[in-house]
Structure 1
Amino acid sequence: MSEASQALQKIARGTGIVFAGTVISMFFGFLSRAVIARYFSTAEYGVFNLVLTVLNIALVIATLGFQNALPREVAFYREREPSRVWDLVSTALVIVAVNSVIWTAVLFAFSGSISRLFGDERLVRALRIVVFALPFWALTGVIISVSRGFGRVREQVYFQNIVYPTLFMAFVVIGAFLGLPFAFVFGAYVVAQALTLLALTFDVWKKGIFKPGISLNSKLGKELVRFSIPLMLTGIAGFVMTWTDTLMLGYYLGSEVVGLYNAAAPIARLLPIFLNSAGLIFPPLATVLYAHGKVEELKRVYQILTKWIFLATFPLFALIFLFPEVTISFFFGAKYLSAAPVLQILALGFMFHTFLGLNGWSLIVIRDSNFIMYSTLISAGINVVLNVLLIPHYGIEGAAVATTVSYFVTNVLNSLRLYRKIRIHPFGRSYVKSLIIGFVLLGLVLGLHLRVSSIWYAVPILVVFVGAYLLLVLLSRSIDEEDVELLLVIEKKLGVDLKVVKKIVERFV
């Protein structure tokens, strides 16, 4: 078995675990949002989204980009200089702890100015409560990033994907049931983050992942910060790209419109679920291949992985794009139906982000973080300009167009850079055939102008659509040897006999 196949199987096993955790996290996250959206007013739901947007931006600054840098750096040092790994980890934790406390104080002090920017006094109290979650959230993220550098996904799944969203959802439901005021939501957020960090710290200490004591290394700290700062700026620009629509809608049109828009946005952000799950496993394994100069194997991993991600994502995209009204109504209720066009537009942007694969993570693997910063800053700038031009005239649809265009630009730039640097691209022959079949079939179904009134009518149509798509993929011989090897891994993992499926698949390799 080739090294590419071995890497793909490790990624597939890890991605399956992360995906399960992500689904659980999204389920409880959606449930929490749905309770807040239904129990409180549209304007209060808008305030909740604005506050979390500010906190997310602060998180990127507080962590200095370490969450993206550490999986690569820990994996690299484990391969080349194992004795320096704990120095790297300990230094990173101290830097983030100090920086996050500083930014907590800054946000608390300037909460009044931030609220005046959006013209909503309710933001003051909300921000002054929720900022205390920042140090807990930042340290949790760094510890989990370190564990990913060790090739572990357990901490990510258990604590970030299960413990935190479950706690927050439980607190929100209890608060709604008891009729507690809106401010309780933000207090619940802080407590959930604090308890998650406490449980995670106890667990990694018990497992012996971290050593006792603090070991600071200024040289390693400077190297890490130098590598991470472009990733921090990338993260800020990424949040600008993702959340400028929310912030500018709040500035131009008010909290109620923000609440309406954020019925569509979280659903569209479900689309990169498989991409993001694979992205948590990909960097350490890809770093090992790259460190040994095995670029051809890395290219093969990239192409096959991108095809798997697209095939897994396409059914969800089809549901959202073909039936946006019933999708929004199912999750958030009929009062958000006017956001259906927004959902379709955003779905196109996030699907394009998915179909080009892990281009950003691959650039991190080859230590080209500066270019990621430049491409994301360019896209964020385009996003801001388009939002300024489009929101006053087209409202929430204009904001969605701005976000979609920015995702298109950053992914094209990153993919071109990756190809120029190491000649890696996602477009293997089997993948191209899968793309053509998928979008031609989608166009045909759109041409039928189907109208359904409930998600339960949409699902059977989707099942037929996906069945036809998979059949055409098989008939077009868009199956690779690595796909069969993955099927064998799944068979072994599940402990079931997939003899019939294997025979069918092997006939079309």
Structure 2
Amino acid sequence: MTLKDKIVSDTLFATVIKIGEKARGILFIPLITLYLGANAYGVYAQLIVVTRLLAGTFELGLHSAVIRYFQSYDYVSERRELYVDVLGFILVLSTLVAGGMFVFAERISQLTLNDATYADVYRLGALLIPINSALIIAENYYRAKRRIKSYSLLNGLKTYLSMVAVGYVVLFQSGTLTDLVLYLVLTELSFFLLIQGDVFRHLGVQFPRFRTIPKSLRYSLPVMAGQISGNFLTRADRLLLGYFIGPFAVGAYTVAYKFANQILLFSRPLSNSFFPEFSNLWENNKREDARSYLHAGTRYFLTLAVPSVVGFTLVGERLIALISTSEVASEGGLALPIIAIGVSFWGLTHLYSCLYYAAELTKPVSYIRIIGAGVNILLNVLLIPIFGLVGAAVTTAVSYFCIFTVMWWYSRNMLGMDNRRYRIHKIGFASIGMYSVVSTSGFDGLLIVIPLAVVCYFLVLFLIGGLTRSEIESLVRPIRSVWAS
């Protein structure tokens, strides 16, 4: 299988698994909102935001060192030492952070939810911090080894187990929010043990000596600055909504964000494959190949992201109403298309970041994200008290647009990227055509409207030359090879 076919195959396989993972987030909305209340969903969503923010921050960007240096190490013993050192270091640090969250749970609850009564949920949820930090390292071991399918399969298993666990505790045990969090912690812990067992089966086991940590930190600390700002960029809106308004606003906004975030299904599997492959190509002086793959990936992403944004303007509020209350649909429906625009620019930023990191240009990415995070927080503080959820959505769109624009501009000089239009005019024309047909068709049911929109878009895109026969074949060929194997 060629490198191009491998990237396409890994991306398609990971996308299928990611759909299940995203479905879990969507399924949790009616389970929690309808059975435990909209406020309970807001508390759950905020707990996930806080624990992932802390896990991602105090992982110190060391996952990037695992990916980068695995490409230059020839011996298993060197890779084992690097992995064990990084994992041990992160477990110690993140456990200390979890202890701090346990101690200051009441204060954290007050700051993030405008209510201190949810402290017990935060105390239990603190266990997710070291688990999630360690899982970040493990996931990037699979990326470094280019075993994307293996990790996707294991992560898919965890996704469905957690869906079963939450469904069981809510539907059959009439459990509380605390019970739900407990089951989630146990599911994540089980997955952590499973995934680490698989890693050690391939690498072997040794005690950490932390000799590789100084070198890893020299590479990762600039990444960490960008990662922290990135974490705040994707979560500051919900933290500030909780602070200014309360758990209902967090819940309604998170529902809209969950739908908009489906657009990242088209970029994250690509970026998971791109970083290790780009690092390998850059290391072997095949830089034009890396740039070519990035151009192709960008065109693929835009082909799917732009009509998705337009589609949310058509059916966004009705989609939310299917799985939540009418109040949540009314609030979230206005914000959904605006958030989707921001998420699309964030997906492009992820793709371009892969090439920056492969070229070891970590500082520019960090500086751009730090400035973007500052703009994001400032706009949220100004707009949320006045416009509520819509203010947070506009902030997301503006800050993500600014970050990607700056990153794209500098990529021309730093990475040798040229200016390409990616057939955006044809993608836009096909999306407008789709909107016109669907909005005037008279059909109202989602089971008719959504397939109709998809068919209209791709038909128009194909007829105007935005999608060629050879591109369709390049997608089908890796699927056939995987199926045949």
TM-score by length of 1: 0.88
Change (3 A) 1:488 1:155: closer
Residue type of the alignment partner of 1:279: S
Pick aligned residue for 2:217 from 225, 240, 252: 225
Pick aligned residue for 1:59 from 52, 55, 61: 55
Pick aligned residue for 1:97 from 88, 91, 95: 91
Change (3 A) 1:297 1:82: farther
* Cα displacement (A) at 1:356: 6.4
Deviations 1:199-258 (A, max 9, x none): 2223334xx31212225352x211111211222222221121111111111111111111
Q: Is the 8 A contact 1:32 1:168 kept in 2?
A: no
**Structure 1: how far apart are the matches of 2:313 and 2:244?**
27
**Structure 1: how far apart are the matches of 2:457 and 2:115?**
46
What is the 5 A alignment of 1:124-143?
Answer: 124-143=119-138
Deviations 1:36-62 (A, max 9, x none): 122111111111111111101110123
Asked whether 1:369 is paired with 2:362, we answer: yes
Pick aligned residue for 2:430 from 430, 441, 445: 441
Change (3 A) 1:226 1:172: same
Aligned to 2:45: 49
Pick aligned residue for 1:18 from 14, 34, 38: 14
Pick aligned residue for 2:141 from 116, 129, 146: 146
Change (3 A) 1:406 1:163: same
* Cα displacement (A) at 1:486: 4.7
Deviations 1:399-442 (A, max 9, x none): 000011111111112222222112125726xx2x2x11121233
Aligned to 1:123: 118
Secondary structure of the residue that 2:73 maps to in structure 1? helix
* Cα displacement (A) at 1:67: 2.9
* Cα displacement (A) at 1:116: 2.4
Pick aligned residue for 2:82 from 79, 88, 100: 88
* Cα displacement (A) at 1:481: 6.1
Deviations 1:154-213 (A, max 9, x none): 4421333x23222222221111122112211111121111111112223334xx312122
Change (3 A) 1:63 1:202: same
Secondary structure of the residue that 1:235 maps to in structure 2? helix
Residue type of the alignment partner of 2:320: I
**Structure 2: how far apart are the matches of 1:312 and 1:441?**
11
**Structure 1: how far apart are the matches of 2:369 and 2:345?**
15
Aligned to 1:502: none
Deviations 1:120-171 (A, max 9, x none): 12331111001012222222221221121011114421333x2322222222
Change (3 A) 1:227 1:469: farther
What is the 5 A alignment of 1:428-507?
Answer: 431=422, 433=423, 435-446=424-435, 449-450=439-440, 453-472=444-463, 475-476=464-465, 479=468, 484-495=473-484
Deviations 1:445-474 (A, max 9, x none): 5467557643123224313322333323xx
* Cα displacement (A) at 1:478: 5.3
**Structure 2: how far apart are the matches of 1:282 and 1:245?**
29
* Cα displacement (A) at 1:98: 1.0
Count residues in correspondence: 480
Give the unaligned 5+ runs of structure 2: none
* Cα displacement (A) at 1:260: 1.3
Q: Is the 8 A contact 2:7 2:273 kept in 1?
A: yes
**Structure 2: how far apart are the matches of 1:396 and 1:212?**
49
Asked whether 1:258 is paired with 2:250, we answer: yes
Q: Is the 8 A contact 1:362 1:418 kept in 2?
A: no
Aligned to 1:504: none
**Structure 2: how far apart are the matches of 1:33 and 1:77?**
44
* Cα displacement (A) at 1:333: 4.6
Change (3 A) 1:357 1:438: farther
Asked whether 1:388 is paired with 2:381, we answer: yes
Pick aligned residue for 1:300 from 292, 298, 302: 292
Residue type of the alignment partner of 2:106: G
Secondary structure of the residue that 2:388 maps to in structure 1? helix
Pick aligned residue for 2:416 from 423, 444, 448: 423
* Cα displacement (A) at 1:444: 4.5
**Structure 1: how far apart are the matches of 2:358 and 2:392?**
32
Residue type of the alignment partner of 1:227: Y
Residue type of the alignment partner of 2:29: R
Residue type of the alignment partner of 1:133: L
**Structure 2: how far apart are the matches of 1:202 and 1:171?**
22
Change (3 A) 1:247 1:93: same
Deviations 1:348-405 (A, max 9, x none): 1122334567111111111111111111111111111111111111110010000111
Q: Is the 8 A contact 1:289 1:295 kept in 2?
A: yes
Q: Is the 8 A contact 2:106 2:117 kept in 1?
A: no
Change (3 A) 1:68 1:266: farther
Aligned CA RMSD, in angstroms, stands at: 2.4
Give the unaligned 5+ runs of structure 1: 497-509
Q: Is the 8 A contact 1:330 1:455 kept in 2?
A: no
Aligned to 1:399: 392
**Structure 1: how far apart are the matches of 2:134 and 2:357?**
22
* Cα displacement (A) at 1:332: 3.1
**Structure 2: how far apart are the matches of 1:478 and 1:395?**
40
- When structure 1 is superposed on structure 2, of 133-142 and 462-471 the one drifting more is 462-471
Residue type of the alignment partner of 1:261: Y
Q: Is the 8 A contact 1:115 1:123 kept in 2?
A: yes
TM-score by length of 2: 0.92
Secondary structure of the residue that 1:77 maps to in structure 2? coil
Residue type of the alignment partner of 1:411: F
Asked whether 1:173 is paired with 2:164, we answer: no
Q: Is the 8 A contact 1:275 1:358 kept in 2?
A: yes
* Cα displacement (A) at 1:485: 4.5
Q: Is the 8 A contact 2:38 2:251 kept in 1?
A: yes
Pick aligned residue for 1:9 from 1, 5, 12: 5
Change (3 A) 1:101 1:377: same
- When structure 1 is superposed on structure 2, of 110-119 and 264-273 the one drifting more is 110-119
Secondary structure of the residue that 1:180 maps to in structure 2? coil
Q: Is the 8 A contact 1:64 1:229 kept in 2?
A: yes
**Structure 2: how far apart are the matches of 1:215 and 1:337?**
50
Change (3 A) 1:231 1:172: same
